[in-house]
C-alpha cells in the first residue's frame, strides 16, 4: 500500500504545465520574501515572535516478553514541537520589515518580467 501514495501524487505533478512550473520558479524568491514579511508583520502586531521548540516526553510501551513470558516495557521518546513566545527588539523588527518590503518591490518587478518571459516561452 505504501507504493500507492507516490502514484496518487503523479497526476498532480503531471497536471502542472511547463508554463506553470516556469512561473513557479520565477516567483519563488518573491513568495519567500512575502512569507518573511507576513511573519514579521505578525511579530510586530503581537509584540513578540513565535519560535518552534521541541519537547521530549517519554511514553512507556510494551516492547516484548522475557523468557518467562512476562512483559517487558520500554521508554519510548515522544517528541512534540510547540510554538512558544520569544522576546524581540521591536525597532529591529520594524527595520527588517522595511528592508523586506523594499526587497519585495524589487523582486516583484523581476518576477513580472520573468513571468512574461515564461508566458512567451511556453504559450498555453
Residue 57: inside a domain: yes
Q: How many Å apart are CA 88 and CA 46, to the nearest integer?
A: 10
Contact at 8 Å (CB) between 45 and 65?
A: no
> Is 70 inside a domain boundary?
yes
pLDDT at 13: 52
Distance CA 84, CA 34 (A): 22
Across the range 25-36, mean pLDDT stands at 96
Q: If pLDDT is split at 50, 70 and 90, which confidence band does 4 have?
A: very low
Bridge partners (DSSP) listed for residue 78? 57
Give 48-102 pLDDT, tens digit per residue.
Answer: 999 999 999 999 999 999 988 899 999 999 999 999 999 999 999 999 999 999 9
Question: What per-residue confidence (pLDDT) applies to 122?
Answer: 87
Residue 99 sits in the same domain as residue 81? no
Assigned domain for 2 exists: no
Model confidence at 20, in pLDDT bands (50, 70, 90)?
Answer: very high
- Residue 59 is part of which domain span? 49-86
* Grid coordinates belonging to 119: 508566458
In a domain, 11, yes or no: no
The grid coordinates listed for 80 are 512534540
Considering the domain boundaries, does residue 6 fall inside one? Answer: no
Domain count for the chain: 2
Amino acid at each position: 500500500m505504501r507504493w500507492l501514495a507516490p502514484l496518487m501524487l503523479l497526476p498532480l505533478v503531471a497536471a502542472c504545465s511547463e508554463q506553470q512550473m516556469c512561473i513557479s520558479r520565477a516567483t519563488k524568491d518573491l513568495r519567500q520574501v512575502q512569507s518573511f514579511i507576513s511573519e514579521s508583520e505578525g511579530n510586530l502586531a503581537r509584540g513578540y515572535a513565535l519560535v518552534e521548540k521541541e519537547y521530549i516526553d517519554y511514553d512507556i510501551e510494551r516492547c516484548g516478553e522475557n523468557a518467562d513470558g512476562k512483559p517487558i516495557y520500554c521508554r519510548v521518546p515522544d517528541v512534540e514541537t510547540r510554538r512558544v513566545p520569544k522576546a524581540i527588539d521591536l525597532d529591529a523588527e520594524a527595520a527588517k520589515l522595511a528592508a523586506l518590503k523594499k526587497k519585495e518591490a524589487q523582486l516583484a518587478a523581476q518576477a513580472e518580467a520573468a513571468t512574461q518571459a515564461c508566458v512567451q516561452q511556453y504559450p498555453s
